[in-house]
Structure 1
Amino acid sequence: MRIGEVARRAGVSTRALRYYEEQGLLTSERSPSGQRTYPESAVERVRMIQQFFTAGLPSRTILRILPCVDTGHGSPEIFELLAAERRRITAAMEDLAAARDALDRVVDMANHPTPEHCPALREPAWAPYDGAEATEVPTGPSRATALHA
């Protein structure tokens, strides 16, 4: 079966299939003209690889799991690897939850600013100028020109 057919039937791109091959997750034969050909079982294997990726496993971990899938026997090391991956994902979820909570606080502060969090609220937007020039208010068409003269 050619790469386009596997991709269509497995619901992935041909680029994904090439990536799987680069990572050692999938193998193909080459025709005399250099085209990839796959056995019928490649469709099911690609779907399984997709499930592993959906579960958050990196390709290096999937590569270590596939021999157990092929033989039907998991080793204690593989079960520990899966447990470690679960701990990694749980930690990442906790980090994301903390980031979300921090963002919620920022959004709340933006929606309800207080002097504690917003320096612009600590002082009035303008204050009277207490320099000597402030005693006379210029008149005429250009106050800016009179103030800078």
Structure 2
Amino acid sequence: MRIGDVAKRTGVSPRLLRYYEEQGLLTPGRTSNGYREYRESHVDAVQQIKGLLDAGLPTRIIQQLLPCLDKPETIYAPFVTPEMIATLRREQARLSERVECLARNRDAIADYLGTVLRVTSADTESAS
């Protein structure tokens, strides 16, 4: 399939798909006229890459993880190096910190929104 088809199926722009290729995350085939030719397995890989990027992993780590991916929902690593374990532990700790920060921000916004809604509701009631 062509790059536009993969883009439509994954929600990832053609430009970003070319970036994934530049970073060594995808290796599509080439047709005789030079067009990129993607397989069905590339759709799964793009979804996995997108999920890992959304989780905050940098492309250099994703590149190391990709050979360990089975399906978009499963990660297995039969040959893990101590360096990879250390890297993943650091990334896990970094993501945990981000999650805690996001949770604090979510709770603060919820408190603020609750206050704003109570004030707005009280103003509306007193105006009637």
TM-score bucket (shorter structure): 0.5 to 0.7
* Cα deviation code 1:25-82 (max 9, x no counterpart): 0011111111100111111110000110011000000001111225942425333322
The aligned length equals 97
Q: TM-score, normalised by structure 1?
A: 0.56
Alignment-derived partner of residue 15 in structure 2: 15
Alignment-derived partner of residue 48 in structure 2: 48
Structure holding more strand per residue: 2
CA separation in 1, counterparts of 2:95 and 2:6? 30
Q: TM-score, normalised by structure 2?
A: 0.65
* Cα deviation code 1:98-131 (max 9, x no counterpart): xx9xxxxxxxxxxxxxxxxxxxxxxxxxxxxxxx
Alignment-derived partner of residue 59 in structure 2: 59
- Contact kept, 8 Å, 2:55 with 2:95, in 1: the verdict is no
Which protein, 1 or 2, shows the higher relative CO under an 8 Å CA cutoff with sep ≥ 6? 2
Alignment-derived partner of residue 88 in structure 1: 94
Q: Give structure 2 stretches of 5+ with no counterpart.
A: 106-128
> How far has the Cα of 1:86 moved from its partner?
2.1
CA separation in 2, counterparts of 1:93 and 1:44? 26
Alignment-derived partner of residue 117 in structure 1: none
Q: Which amino acid aligns with 1:85?
A: E
Structure holding more helix per residue: 2
SS in 2 for 1:5: helix
In the TM superposition, structure 1's runs of 4+ consecutive aligned residues that sit over 4 Å from their partners are 90-94
Q: Give structure 1 stretches of 5+ with no counterpart.
A: 101-149
Q: Equivalent residues in 2 for 1:53-132 (5 A)?
A: 53-70=53-70, 72-74=76-78, 75=80, 77=82, 78-90=84-96
- Contact kept, 8 Å, 2:3 with 2:38, in 1: the verdict is yes
